[in-house]
Amino acid sequence: MDRRETSDLGSVDSDQTSRSGHDNHLPRQGSSGMATKLASKSEHLYKRARELIPGGVNSPVRYYSPYPLFVASAKGSRFRTVDGEEFLDYCMAYGALLDGHAPEEIVEAVQMALARGSLYGQPTEMEVELASLISSLVPSMEMVRLVNSGTEATMHSLRLARAFTGRQKILKFEGGYHGAHDSVLVRAGSGASSLGIPNSEGITKNVAEDTLVAKFNDEGMSRRIIEDHTHELAAVIVEPVMGNMGPVLPRPGFLETLRKITQENGVILIFDEVITGFRVALGGAQEYFGIRPDMTVLGKILGGGLPIGAFGGRREIMEKLAPLGGVYQAGTYSGNPVSVAASLATLQSLKRRARQ
C-alpha cells in the first residue's frame, strides 16, 4: 500500500498531531532550508524486524510498501502508531473485531479470567458454557470442539469429514480462503479433471491432487464435479459469502443446490463461517440463507480479539473425534480460559443486542 494512501485514510491532521507532541514524523527544515523528513520509528522498527522476522512481519498480509505501520495502541475505531499518528481502522484485524478495539466488556472479562490463571491444561466450566451458547446460536452445531484459530478449525473439520465418509478428496471454490494449511492452499487446475495446483511452495502434488476446485456460483460445474467424484469426495467446503475475493454473494439457489447435491451423494457440506459467523446474522450466513450444513467452522469474531476457533456439526460426525472415536485432534491451548472468557463476553453481548 502506498504510504500516501495510508496517511490519507483517517489520519489526524498535522496540527492536531503536533499539538499532541508527536511531530517527529513531520517534514522539518534542514540547514539548506529544504524540507527533510526524519525517518519514522515504524521505519526503524521495520529495519530491525527484517533482521529477526522473515519479511519483517508475522503474517504476509501485514506488509505494505515501503514499510508497515507499527501500532502502539488502539481503542474503538482507531489505532495509534509508535510515531503518534492516529488512523481510522477500516481493517479491524481482517474482520476479527466486530465491536472495535478494546471494548470494555471484553477487556473486563479478560482481566477477570487472567487473574484466575492463564492456562490450566484441564477442562473448565466456561468451555461448557461457550459450547452451549454456540450451539444455541448456530443449531447445526450440535456438538462443538474449540481450537485456536480458523485455520485449525478448517484443518480438523476436513480430517473429520474424511474419516466419517472414508473418502479422500475435498471440493473447494476458486478464490475461497480456508486458512493456511496444505489441503486448502490450492487453486483450480486446467482440464476436465479439475485437479488442484499448489498455491504455495512446499505443498506436495499428492496433497494438491486431493483438492478439487469449482467456480463459486457455478451450479453446473459443482454438480458435475460432485457427481463425477461421488465415491472419493469426502466434503465440500465453502464460504457461504465469499470474503477473500469480494465479498461475493451466492446467487439465489446456489447454496440450496449445494445442500441438495451433497445430501444426495453422501458428501459432507462444511460452511466456513469464519468471516460470516455472527456478522451476516447472529446465527451466521446459514441462518440468513436458511441452509443447514453438516459442519460449521468459526473464528475471528468468535474471540473478540483473542485467538480462538471452533468447529462443530452433526452429533454422529463429531463423535468420531477422540477420545470417543479414532480421529485425533488436540491442542495445548485449545479452550484457553482467557480466550474462552473473551468469546463468552462477545457472544453474550451480541445476543443481548440482537434482542433489542
Residues labelled as active-site residues: 177, 272, 300
Separation in Å, CA 322 to CA 31, 145, 181, 326, 349: 71, 11, 21, 6, 32
d(CA 301, CA 276): 9
Phi-psi region of 298 (alpha: psi -120 to 50; beta: other; left: phi over 0): beta
Q: Torsion angle of alpha carbons 41, 42, 43, 45, nearest 10°? A: 80
From the CB of residue 151, how many other CB atoms can be counted at a distance below 10 Å?
A: 19
